Amino acid sequence: MHFLLDGDPGHDDMLTLYLAAKHVNVVGLTTTFGNSSVEHTTRNALRCLQMGNLNHIPVAKGSVRPLVNEPRYAPHIHGDTGLDGAELPEATVDIQPLHAVDFIIEQSFKYDDLVLVPTGPLTNVASALIKDPTLAKRLKGISLMGGSLTFGNTTPAAELNIYLDPEAADVVFRSGVPIKMFGLNVTRMANATKERIADIRAIGTPFAATVADLIEYYRMALNKAFGLEGASLHDPLAIAVFIAPELFTLKKMNVQIELNGKLTRGMTVCDYRSSDGRRVKRDDAEFENDSAVVSGFEENVEVAVDMDVDGFFKLLNETLAMYQ
C-alpha cells in the first residue's frame, strides 16, 4: 500500500510522519489549518522533514479554513507556531505547486492502493471527495485520528479535529471509503509520561533530544490545560495500525457526525449496537441487542477500542532510534 499523510503539524503529527517514513511507502504530506494556521503547519511540516532527512517526501499546502465556519486554532496546546518547544532547522525545499486537494486527487490516480491518513481537520479530504466524486472508489481506505467513543476534549461531546470542521467530517464518514477511526477513548492511552519522554531522550541522538524537548513542551501544555500528567500521542496511532496491527483492537460500527446539536455539534455518534445481535463491549459493561433496539444503520467505520500501550511505545522508540 501507499500512504498520503494529511495533517496540521503539530507535536503528535510529527510522530506520525517519523513512524510512517521508516515503515511504509509515503507518497506525500498535505497540510491544513488546525493546531495553527496553514502557513504555520506547512512550515512545520517542512521543518520536520528537514530534521528527519526526509526531504524526498513532497509537501502540498491545503485548506486555510473549514468548509463553513471560521478557522479556530489551539495555541494553548501547541504554541503560537503549532510546534513550539524546540528550534527546528529551516527547510531547504519548497512546497509542491499543487494545492493539497489537487495533490490528493493526483496521487489517487497514480496508486490504486492509496490510503489517506488524516490527523487534523478533514477539510482537505472532504474537499477532494467533493471535487472528484470518483475519488472515493479509488481510495483503498482512510485511517484518521478524530472523534471519540466517549468524551470530547473541545466540548464534552466533541474532539478537536472533528469539531473544527464537522461538515467536512460528515462528507468523509458518508463517503463509503473504508475508514479506521482512532478517537480519544484510545489515543489518550498513548500517554507520554515524564518517564516515557526520558526513554526517548535516552536514545542519545540529537534528533531524539529535540523530539523529547517537543513532547515535553506538549506534555506541560496538556497538564496546564487539562491536568493530564502525560502527553497524549493521538495522531501516530492512525499509521501505527498498519505497521503493527496486532497492537490494536478495532470494532465495526456505524458512526455519524452530529452537525446541529446545541451541545453535541461535532460529536462522533457511535452506534454500539450491532445489526446482527452480537455483543459490543463498552468499558466494563456489555449491551446485547434485541429487535427493539437494532438501528439498521450500516457499519461504516472500524473504531479503535483498545491498544497495547507498551507495545506502541516500544515501536515508537525503536523507530526514533533510526534517526540521527
Report if residue 6 sits inside a domain.
yes
Reported confidence tier of residue 291, pLDDT bands at 50, 70, 90: very low
DSSP single-letter state for residue 245: G
State which residues form the domain around 210.
Answer: 2-252+303-320
277, part of any domain: no
* pLDDT of 289 above 80: no
In a domain, 273, yes or no: no
Average pLDDT on 53-82 reads 92
Residue 174 C-alpha cell reads as: 458518508
CATH number at residue 201: 3.90.245.10
Least confidently predicted of 149-158, 211-220, 293-302? 293-302
Cell of 234: 493521538
Measuring CA to CA, which residue among 76, 82, 81, 26 is closest to residue 52? 26
Give the separation between CA 9 and CA 322, rounded to whole angstroms.
21
In a domain, 283, yes or no: no
Q: Of 298 and 57, which is predicted with more confidence?
A: 57
Q: Just list the catalytic residues.
A: 234
Question: Is the pLDDT higher at 286 or at 77?
Answer: 77
Residue 180, domain member (yes or no) = yes
Percentage of residues in the chain having pLDDT higher than 70 = 93
**Domain assignment present for 31:** yes
**Is residue 261 domain-resident?**
no
Give the pLDDT confidence score for residue 226 in this predicted structure: 86
**219 belongs to a structural domain:** yes
Q: For residues 162 and 256, is the Cβ–Cβ distance under 8 A?
A: no
* Per-residue pLDDT reduced to its tens digit, 186-245: 999 999 999 999 999 999 999 999 999 999 999 999 999 888 889 999 999 999 999 999
Peptide bond connecting 311 to the previous residue in cis, omega within 30 degrees of 0 = no
pTM of the model: 0.92
Number of domains in the chain: 1
Quickly state the pLDDT bin for 274 (edges 50, 70, 90): low
DSSP 174: T
